[in-house]
Amino acid sequence: MYSKVVNSQDQALCHLYYHCCLKNGKLSPLEIDSLSDRFVALGLQKRLNFKDEMNAYRSYNNTIENEDQYLKFLIQLINPTNELALFSYCVELTVSDELMDMVEESLIKKIGNLLNIEEVQQQTIQKLVIERKVVETEKIM
């Protein structure tokens, strides 16, 4: 189903970001803010209607039978040239609600592996993003 809905690089990026935020089944106000910031920073708001994309994502989300294939499809469509940046953005979105549960950790690991990022690099990026989040929220260095 998703292969009929997601047809462009921009859509794939948008749906990957939605998947990162909605993996735990909830979309918090903090996650909405993070998504909005990310979309604006990338200029996606000029090319996509995010409400339509969210509705499209929700239309097939529960029918994803093989998450690995889904993620591979999105990443191939995105065709990233800066894999570490894409990975770090995904990590940022999963911790934007100030929580990262085991389901989200598994998702991040899958994304990192599909991007061919070494385990040590994945862990370093995760630690960096989490520490930055702590500094932002608690205002301590």
Tokens, residue 49? 């209607």
DSSP letter at 44? Answer: G
pLDDT in tens, the chain (141 residues): 888 999 999 999 999 999 998 887 778 888 888 888 888 888 888 889 888 999 999 999 999 999 999 999 999 999 999 999 999 999 999 888 777 778 889 999 999 999 999 999 999 999 999 888 888 777 776
Q: How far is CA 35 from CA 10, 22, 51, 77, 121, in A?
A: 14, 11, 12, 20, 24
Crossing angle for the helix pair 50-61 and 9-22, to the nearest 10 degrees:
60
Q: Could you tell me where the DSSP H helices lie in 23-66? A: 29-41, 50-61
pTM over 0.75: yes
Taken in order 23, 79, 41, 85, the sign of the CA dihedral is positive
- Among positive and negative, which fits the CA dihedral 50, 104, 87, 124? positive
